[in-house]
Amino acid sequence: MRVDKKTLHELIANKMHKAGLTKEHADVAADVLTFADLRGIHSHGAVRVEYYSERIAKGGITHNPNVTFNETGPSSAILDFDNGCGLVAAKIGMDKAIEMAKKNGVAVVGVRRMSHSGSLGYFTEMAAENDLIAFSVCQSDPMVVPYGGAEEFFGTNPIAFAAPTADDRIVSFDMATTVQAWGKVLYARSKGEPIPSTWAVDENGEPTTDPHKVNALLPISGPKGYGLMMMVDIFSGILLGLPFGKHVSSMYADLSKGRELGHLHIVINPAFFIGLEPFKHAMSAMLNELKEVKPAKGNAEVYYPGERGKAREAAYLKDGIEIVDDIYNYLVSDDIHYNRYDHKNKFAE
């Protein structure tokens, strides 16, 4: 099923507003989710709407949060979002970070007590579009075995980075600290497809290709991914006075309760360092030189981070966004949700 951008956005916004979000928050949430599908990150797009809607309807996402913003220094602040929609919280946090970085050169904004925030690349690209550099991290519930361990401790704990150039290109890097995000396993389930044996392990700690038998995910590059996911949990959990590691709330255990998650934005203004124009021109020069690198066998060319996502976006804008039929049928239905997620385990089972 292919759907144009405007239609998908309206379907998502209408569903989340019907579930209980304000119209304003539902529109922002739809922006973030549509962005993910446009870039081909389907694991963080419309596939998530029913889960969000069920949690909203059951009170686990605050409909009208009591939001507070406390500037703790000239370049630091904490946004408390009262367990409101994380997609909205992360955007507001980035708006504040952009404002502070433009004025003071650097901004570190922590967002605490929020729900799941979706694709981090949406937020870092907001900064790049304002001629700023951004780094964002957020914590998630435990579903990854630490390097050398046999049971889960950390979450997929993603990292995103974006930077502007002197032309219309943006460097945009968004990754989970696992070999793949859980959402990719979820998407494989929705399509009835197997997963690579390097993504996850079953209940016996053995590699599996069956997305329905996944018991825990694997950190990317072994000890390196393990260290990165710990770093993310420190920045977005401990630093903000929130639970860490195995104490982070489950996505599915009780959808009537707020998740108390943390997110951290670090934004840097190049104008306070090398200068904006020299920075942007050097960035463009780097990308141009990367494009001239001889491709390895089996590769047409060398891509810079974010390039293929933008190409997918251009194709989807022309031909429509690819959405699984079951997800589309849910979006156009009159139902808010089907009680699929509440009181399930970490893998919605």
Tokens of 130: 């304002």
Q: What number of other Cβ atoms are within 10 A of residue 7's Cβ?
A: 17
CA atoms within 13 A on the CB side of 75: 12
Distance (Å, rounded) from C-alpha 204 to C-alpha 304?
A: 38
Catalytic hit among 25, 44, 116, 337: 116
Distance (Å, rounded) from C-alpha 233 to C-alpha 158?
A: 10
Give 247's contacts (C-beta < 8 A, 6+ positions apart): none
Of 319, 330, 306, 327, nearest in space to 5 by CA? 319
By DSSP bridging, strand 106-114 and strand 76-84 are parallel
Distance (Å, rounded) from C-alpha 170 to C-alpha 343?
A: 40
* 44 flagged as catalytic: no
DSSP for 46-114 reads: GGGHHHHHHHHHTTSS-SS---EEEEEETTEEEEEEEEE-HHHHHHHHHHHHHHHHHHHSEEEEEEEEE
The H or E element spanning position 291 is helix 276-291
The H or E element spanning position 225 is helix 223-236
Of 169, 101, 176, 170, nearest in space to 140 by CA? 176
Q: Is 303 left (phi over 0), alpha (psi -120 to 50) or beta?
A: beta
In the numeric block, the tokens 């000239």 are attached to: 74
Catalytic residues: 116
